[in-house]
Each structure stands twice: as structure tokens, then as C-alpha cells.
């Protein structure tokens, strides 16, 4: 291990140790916690059949049956004031060196009062917006920003919730999503987050400072808005980005919107659209390359066989999206001198983005969630 690598490792461990505690992740990703239980265990998975085509040409590599998600989840309350949460992914390669990388979060939370929560560990970066807030297993197609943000980082945070529980203000300090093992110094992020629920309206807002170079920060203003009217839900996210405050003028931004309607507690139909415009102020380390401008539209249907019982643990889905625009996220085929060349002698560049012009995307699949401890209790009680 090099001196720089050792120094980075020590800094990362110290960040957790000094922080001491951890605010649990996003509210939309909760679901297994119960008061006064030392631990609860959940397992969830999603299997999809994908069919992708670019300009009518079938994408063989991107099609077929795929295990999109296979997650292990453990949560618990150690004492009335201490709780923890852990989620691990297993659908990706998990060697010893990759195990921590595939840990989405691993946090410890201390609540000295009902208003305050202090937390540390590997956390979700607190960025506003409903598309970002929802668990990946619940989403079928997303904005280019969502597909590129490195959202799980070591960090610490403190949150204050009002007495009525309707508003929470949180401050988080963490590793920057632009921090890489090749950099000689650590980069940090500072995030101010507000969630507020008032009648039919719920907001998820944030102001984020993401360090990408010594003394330099990428800024986000993320405004997530949700309106609920009976069985209808409208979500509209506005995100503006820039390396200086004067760059936050809709040169580099994303808009994400979704309308969903639940029918008879079993069937949810939805329509969704996203728009990403990547301007000159974009940071290359973000995976969003200047010149990119993409519009993605689509919709789908979800069926919950046990929805009449209020159960969402089994779900069938079908969704389709189509993308228009240009994605400039390409890079040369090799870092060495043995590049691949086309018939005209030009270096072939490989596409590194997630969506491109005239991409048709169809997914049909099954999602299931198991509360392991609850299942064991039910078996023992029979």
C-alpha cells in the first residue's frame, strides 16, 4: 500500500470515528425497523427481462434475463436511544476487496431526544429530489444524473425534527462523490437538507457542496416536490448544478417528473419523463459530460397480488421508455497505445453513458421482499 493510499484510508476511518453516530438513510428506503427490537432482517430481490434497442437495432448485451437487485437488509434498536441500519448488495461481484464497496449503507444513530438525531457510518448523500430519494429497486428508468451519482459515502450528520414531526433539517459532512482512489488528497461534501410535509405537499430540498479539486466545489440546488390527491401522486424534481454560484443559471440541470395513480389497491399505473442538460460547468468526475442533452419519456404498470391486504411485498411490473437527444459520455477504447481504430483510421471511442439517442428500453419483471424474522416467528407460532 502506498503512502497516499494509507493516508486516505486513515482519513476515511477517522471520519467515521470522529463523527461517532449516524442518521438513518432516506425515509423512502425504510421498512424493516420496529421499536425495541435488537434486529430485524430483510431480503429483497428483483428479476427483470430486458429488451433494449438503439435506433431499432437490438442490443444483445443489454437484453435478456437479469438479476437487477438482490439485497440483504438488517435494522435494529440497540437501546431506546441507539439504532443501526445495514444494507448489502449481492447481485454484483463481491470479492473481499469489493464487499465494503457494495455496502450501500452501514450506520449507527443516536437520538438524545425526540427532536435530535446524530449519525455516522456509510450513508446516503443527502441530495434533494424524489427520484433520488426512492430506493433503486422501486425504479425502472431514470435520469442521466441518477445513473451517474456516486451516492453512498462515509460521513456524519445531525438532524433536527420539529415537535409535530412535519419538518426535518439536516446537515451532513461526508466524502465527496468525486473522491477517487487515484487522488492524492481526500475530497469532502457538505449538504444542507430539508424535508417538510404539509397537507397534500411534501418537499425534499437540498443545497450541496461537492468538492472535486482542492478548494473547488460543485454546487447543487435540488428541489423535490410531491403532491398527493387521494390515489394520485405527482412528483416534480428540479436540480441545478454549477461549479460557482453564478453558474447556477440553468446551464447544467435536470428535471424529473412522474404521475402515478393507484387503482383498487392492486394496480399502479405511471407516466414519467426526465430531461438532462449538461453545460460547460459540469465536473467531468460526475460522469455527466458537457454537451449532453437527453429527454427520456415512458411509463408502466405495477401489479400487487396482495395489495387488497395492504401488502406490497410482491410486485409484478412492466415499463417502457424511449430516449431522444445526445450523450457525449464517450472515452477512447484503451488507455494504452493499442487503441482500436475504425476503417478510416480514427480512434474508436466506447460509450460510457447509460442512455443514448433513440434508445428503446422495455423491462418486465418480478420484485419480492421477505421479512425473515417475522417469517420465523410465524413458523414457530404454528
In 190-272, which residue ranges form alpha helices assigned H by DSSP?
Answer: none
- How far apart CA 9 and CA 53 sit, in angstroms, is 42
Span 68-76, average pLDDT: 93
329 is a domain residue: yes
6 is a domain residue: no
Q: Are strands 216-229 and 201-213 parallel, antiparallel or unpaired?
A: antiparallel
144 is a domain residue: yes
CATH number of the domain to which 142 belongs: 2.40.160.10
Q: What confidence score (pLDDT) does residue 30 get? A: 42
Q: Is residue 1 scored above 90 in pLDDT?
A: no
**Residues 6+ positions from 139 with CB-CB distance below 8 Å:** 131, 146
Beta-ladder partners of 351: 330
Span 11-21, average pLDDT: 40
Q: What confidence score (pLDDT) does residue 66 get? A: 94
236 is a domain residue: yes
Span 130-140, average pLDDT: 96
Q: What confidence score (pLDDT) does residue 100 get? A: 74
Which range marks the domain in which residue 50 is found?
44-72+128-380
- How far apart CA 24 and CA 27 sit, in angstroms, is 8
Q: What confidence score (pLDDT) does residue 16 get? A: 37
Per-residue pLDDT reduced to its tens digit, 166-224:
999 999 999 999 987 666 788 999 999 999 999 999 999 999 999 999 999 999 999 99
Q: What confidence score (pLDDT) does residue 6 get? A: 42
Span 93-114, average pLDDT: 82
253 is a domain residue: yes
48 is a domain residue: yes
Number of domains the chain contains? 1
Span 326-330, average pLDDT: 89
90 is a domain residue: no
Span 254-275, average pLDDT: 97
33 is a domain residue: no
**pLDDT averaged over the chain?**
85
- Look up the pTM and report it: 0.85
Span 134-153, average pLDDT: 95
Amino acid at each position: 500500500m502506498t503512502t497516499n493510499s494509507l493516508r486516505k484510508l486513515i482519513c476515511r476511518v477517522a471520519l467515521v470515528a470522529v463523527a461517532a453516530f449516524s442518521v438513518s438513510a432516506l425515509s423512502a428506503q425504510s421498512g424493516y425497523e420496529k421499536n425495541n427490537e435488537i434486529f430485524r432482517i430483510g431480503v429483497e430481490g428483483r428479476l427483470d427481462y430486458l429488451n433494449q434497442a438503439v435506433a431499432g437495432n437490438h442490443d444483445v448485451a443489454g437484453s435478456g434475463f437479469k438479476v437487477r437487485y438482490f439485497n440483504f437488509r438488517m435494522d435494529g434498536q440497540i437501546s431506546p436511544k441507539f439504532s443501526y441500519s445495514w444494507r448489502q448488495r449481492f447481485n454484483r461481484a463481491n470479492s473481499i476487496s469489493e464487499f465494503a464497496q457494495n455496502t450501500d449503507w452501514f450506520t449507527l444513530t443516536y437520538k438524545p431526544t425526540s427532536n435530535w438525531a446524530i449519525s455516522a457510518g456509510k450513508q446516503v448523500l443527502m441530495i434533494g429530489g424524489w427520484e433520488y430519494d426512492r430506493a433503486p429497486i422501486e425504479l425502472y428508468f431514470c435520469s442521466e444524473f441518477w445513473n451517474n451519482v456516486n451516492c453512498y459515502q462515509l460521513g456524519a450528520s445531525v438532524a433536527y425534527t420539529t415537535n409535530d414531526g412535519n419538518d426535518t433539517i439536516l446537515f451532513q459532512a461526508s466524502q465527496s462523490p468525486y473522491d477517487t482512489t487515484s487522488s492524492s488528497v481526500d475530497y469532502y461534501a457538505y449538504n444542507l437538507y430539508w424535508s417538510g410535509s404539509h397537507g397534500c405537499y411534501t418537499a425534499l430540498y437540498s443545497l450541496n457542496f461537492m468538492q472535486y479539486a482542492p478548494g473547488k466545489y460543485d454546487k447543487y440546488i435540488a428541489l423535490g416536490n410531491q403532491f398527493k390527491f387521494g390515489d394520485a401522486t405527482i412528483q416534480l424534481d428540479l436540480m441545478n448544478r454549477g461549479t460557482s454560484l453564478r453558474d447556477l443559471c440553468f446551464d447544467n440541470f435536470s428535471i424529473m417528473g412522474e404521475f402515478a395513480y393507484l387503482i383498487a389497491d392492486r394496480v399502479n399505473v405511471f407516466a414519467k419523463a426526465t430531461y438532462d442538460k449538461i453545460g460547460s460547468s459540469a465536473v467531468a468526475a460526475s460522469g455527466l459530460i458537457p454537451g449532453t442533452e437527453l429527454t427520456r419519456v415512458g411509463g408502466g404498470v405495477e401489479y400487487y397480488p396482495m395489495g387488497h391486504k395492504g401488502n406490497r411485498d410482491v410486485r409484478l411490473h412492466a415499463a417502457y421508455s424511449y430516449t431522444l437527444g445526445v450523450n457525449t459520455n464517450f472515452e477512447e477504447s484503451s488507455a494504452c497505445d493499442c487503441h482500436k481504430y475504425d476503417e478510416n483510421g480514427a480512434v474508436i471511442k466506447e460509450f460510457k453513458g447509460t442512455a443514448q439517442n433513440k434508445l428503446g428500453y422495455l423491462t418486465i419483471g418480478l420484485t419480492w421482499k421477505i421479512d425473515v424474522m417475522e417469517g420465523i416467528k410465524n413458523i414457530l407460532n404454528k
